[in-house]
Homo-oligomer: A and B are copies of this chain.
Amino acid sequence: MAKRIESHQNRIFKWVKSLSLKKNRDKEGVFVAEGLRFISEIPNEWCVKLFIVSEDFAKGQDISTYEKKAETYIVSDELFTLVSDTESPQGILAVCKKQEQPDETIWKKEAPFFILAEELNDPGNLGTVIRTADAAGVDGIFLSKGSVDVYNAKVLRATMGSIFHVPIVQNVLLEDVASKMKENHISLYAAHLRGENFPYELPLDKACSFLIGNEARGLSDKGASLCDCWVKIPMPGQAESLNASMAAGLLMYEVVRQRLK
């Protein structure tokens, strides 16, 4: 049975609210998933610590599926807005355990396909990269130190739940991941203004990975030097560059296209 939380001074309520800060999410190893669609993406086996639903939500929905999965708390609509990150909350959130670190098996797949990002800072961009990677069947995403936190509410929202599907490793050193790629014969590509090969010419049916640069600064020289090949995304129009997540999506989907055959 669901329990009620009556006050914003309640210990559990305060704990959930504290998770809007990265340092608290890091310490507790959890994050907040909000909204019906997002929560419907939580896999059965995923560890959920608790649910919070608003009174209004509990009136309109059968909440017994939530109660069976984890401790469920009902709060007034007013309290819910205090703990919600969105402007028009749907009245349901879940505190979920973070992803496990992916184990060595991700390196052992046949023709694995990875994304690396160097200091990707915009939450919307990172979320879109994760969602697109999930659609494209990417085997893992590596984020360098200095990237925005995957469990930031805006990132999560833009993933539309794909956070539950794609293995993600945060705070990596690019050199380490690049060495690991080399060791496992996985080509590392990056879009670069001085790139000479169109993505359509690359053997992307083979093991491959793409390094994405920061939105404003692009790839660092160090990042660029780690790549096996620079790729040129054609721009027959007048724009001189693409949004970082768009460039990443176009490259991921060239892999999809080549592997369809």
Interface residues in A182-222 (C-beta closer than 8 Å to B): 198, 200
State in angstroms the CA–CA spacing of A177 and B258 once bound together. 34
Once the chains bind, are A257 and B132 in contact (CB under 8 Å)? Answer: no
A136's nearest neighbour on chain B, judged by CB, is B237
Task: Check if A128 is an interface residue, CB within 8 A of chain B.
Answer: yes
Interface residues in A135-190 (C-beta closer than 8 Å to B): 135-138, 158, 160-162, 165-166
CB < 8 Å: which of B137, B200, B235, B246 contacts A236?
B137
The 0/1 profile, CB within 8 Å of B marked 1, for residues 114-150 of chain A is 0000000000100010011111111000000000000
Interface residues in A223-239 (C-beta closer than 8 Å to B): 233-239
A238's nearest neighbour on chain B, judged by CB, is B165
Task: Check if A260 is an interface residue, CB within 8 A of chain B.
Answer: yes
CB < 8 Å: which of B131, B138, B239, B253 contacts A243?
B131
Smallest beta-carbon distance A69→chain B, Å: 20
The answer to whether residues A260 and B234 also contact, given A134-B239, A239-B134 and a CB cut-off of 8 A, is yes
CB < 8 Å: which of B233, B236, B239 contacts A160?
B239
The answer to whether residues A242 and B135 also contact, given A253-B250, A256-B234 and a CB cut-off of 8 A, is yes
Once the chains bind, are B132 and A243 in contact (CB under 8 Å)? Answer: yes
Once the chains bind, are A257 and B200 in contact (CB under 8 Å)? Answer: yes
Please tell me the number of chain A residues within 8 Å of chain B, measured between CB atoms.
37
Once the chains bind, are A132 and B259 in contact (CB under 8 Å)? Answer: no
A162 neighbours in B (Cβ, 8 Å): 238-239
Taking beta carbons and an 8 Å cutoff, which residues of A are in contact with B?
Answer: 124, 128, 131-138, 158, 160-162, 165-166, 198, 200, 233-239, 241-243, 245-246, 249-250, 253, 256-257, 259-260
State in angstroms the CA–CA spacing of A104 and B157 once bound together. 42
Other than the given A165-B238, A233-B253, 4 more pairs (CB < 8 A) read A132-B239, A134-B239, A162-B238, A250-B253
- Ordered by A's residue number, 27 sampled pairs between the chains whose C-beta atoms are within 8 Å are A128-B246, A131-B239, A131-B243, A131-B246, A132-B242, A134-B238, A135-B235, A135-B238, A135-B242, A137-B236, A137-B237, A160-B239, A162-B238, A162-B239, A165-B237, A165-B238, A165-B239, A166-B237, A233-B253, A234-B256, A236-B256, A242-B249, A246-B246, A246-B249, A249-B249, A249-B250, A250-B250
